[in-house]
Amino acid sequence: MKLSVVIPTLNEEECIGQVMDELSAALDGKVEYEVVVVDGMSRDRTREIARAKGAVVVEEPRRGYGRAYKTGFASARGEIIATMDGDCTYPTESIIPLMEMLDEEDLEFITTDRFGHMEEGAMSTMHKIGNLALSFTTRLLFGRIIRDSQSGMWVFRRQALSKIRVEDDGMPFSEEIKIEAFRKLRSKEVMIRYRRRVGEVKLSSWKDGWKNFRFLWRKRFRGPRDKSLRS
């Protein structure tokens, strides 16, 4: 198996079907792949729709975006893993070009930057400010040139996971994987198109923003072994 697309979902019935269709349009006949949907016990038809469209659905009752990815990565069989949300925001047509870039530039990890080509209304002004503040803090504390520390689309070699340590169960998983990747792997950030979300946002702006911010300071000054960051 060449590619696993891993998607965490929590009540995404409005869009998961479209994401599956867009994946088929972008990948069918071009690469051998599977889609792993890690569902946090949605109370709507997410699992049913994903399964009907051919995804492998993994049920993960434990809450959290990071928790879902840890479970999803453990069941992914592809040589390369691509991630995205189940909300129609990320460009499925970028997966193959990013996989080619991994090979051509001999990279292990690619993260994406949504700020270059963002559809009108795809991110509220408050979220933009929050994201930029978190990305700035990431740069300040870790010295990495990441423009978008919260982007949820990554394309990377599954093997590279054994070289990094990503522990957070919540939204900070997104910045944690980038910090680890830019420290330990051949990594790059690439601009992508980002669309307006379909369905309700799952993150809580203030709570998750604050958790992300706190996470960055803890990771910087106490190291990754901090007990409070463990599952």
Ligand X SMILES: Nc1nc2c(ncn2[C@@H]2O[C@H](COP(=O)(O)OP(=O)(O)O)[C@@H](O)[C@H]2O)c(=O)[nH]1
Point out which residues bind ligand X (CB under 6 A): 8-10, 12, 38-40, 60, 63-65, 68, 85-87, 152, 201-203
Query: Which residue's C-beta sits nearest to Mg ion?
Result: 85
Spatial separation of the C-alpha atoms in residues 201 and 133, rounded to whole Å:
20
Q: At what angle do helices 205-222 and 125-142 cross, to 10 degrees?
A: 0
User: Shortest Cβ distance from residue 62 to ligand X (Å)?
Assistant: 8
Residue 110 near residue 187 (C-beta atoms within 8 A): yes
Q: What does 60 bind: ligand X, Mg ion, none (CB cut-off 5 to 8 Å by kind)?
A: ligand X
Whether the CA torsion 48, 30, 6, 122 is positive or negative: it is negative
Residue 87 makes contact with Mg ion by CB under 5 A: yes
Question: Quick one: 1 or 126, whose CB is closer to ligand X?
Answer: 126
User: Shortest Cβ distance from residue 172 to Mg ion (Å)?
Assistant: 15
Give the interface segment with Mg ion, choosing from 41-49, 85-93, 112-120, 205-213 (CB under 5 A): 85-93
Residue 85 makes contact with Mg ion by CB under 5 A: yes
In this structure, the number of other CB atoms found within 10 A of the CB of residue 125 comes to: 7
**Tokens 């929050």 belong to which residue?**
130
Spatial separation of the C-alpha atoms in residues 167 and 70, rounded to whole Å:
8
Residue 223, by phi and psi: left (phi above 0), alpha (psi -120 to 50) or beta? Answer: left
Question: Quick one: 88 or 99, whose CB is closer to ligand X?
Answer: 88
Residue 148 tokens read as: 């978008």
Residue 179 tokens read as: 């910090």
User: Shortest Cβ distance from residue 7 to ligand X (Å)?
Assistant: 6
User: Shortest Cβ distance from residue 48 to ligand X (Å)?
Assistant: 15
Question: Quick one: 85 or 169, whose CB is closer to Mg ion?
Answer: 85
Residue 187, by phi and psi: left (phi above 0), alpha (psi -120 to 50) or beta? Answer: beta
Query: Which residue's C-beta sits nearest to ligand X?
Result: 40
Question: Quick one: 89 or 112, whose CB is closer to Mg ion?
Answer: 89
Q: Which of 193, 151, 145, 141 is nearest to 171 (CA)?
A: 151
Residue 33 tokens read as: 């792949």
User: Shortest Cβ distance from residue 140 to Mg ion (Å)?
Assistant: 25
Question: Quick one: 65 or 215, whose CB is closer to Mg ion?
Answer: 65
Q: What does 126 bind: ligand X, Mg ion, none (CB cut-off 5 to 8 Å by kind)?
A: none
Residue type, 196: R
User: Shortest Cβ distance from residue 229 to ligand X (Å)?
Assistant: 17
Question: Quick one: 62 or 222, whose CB is closer to ligand X?
Answer: 62
Which stretches of the chain bind Mg ion, using CB under 5 A? 85, 87, 89
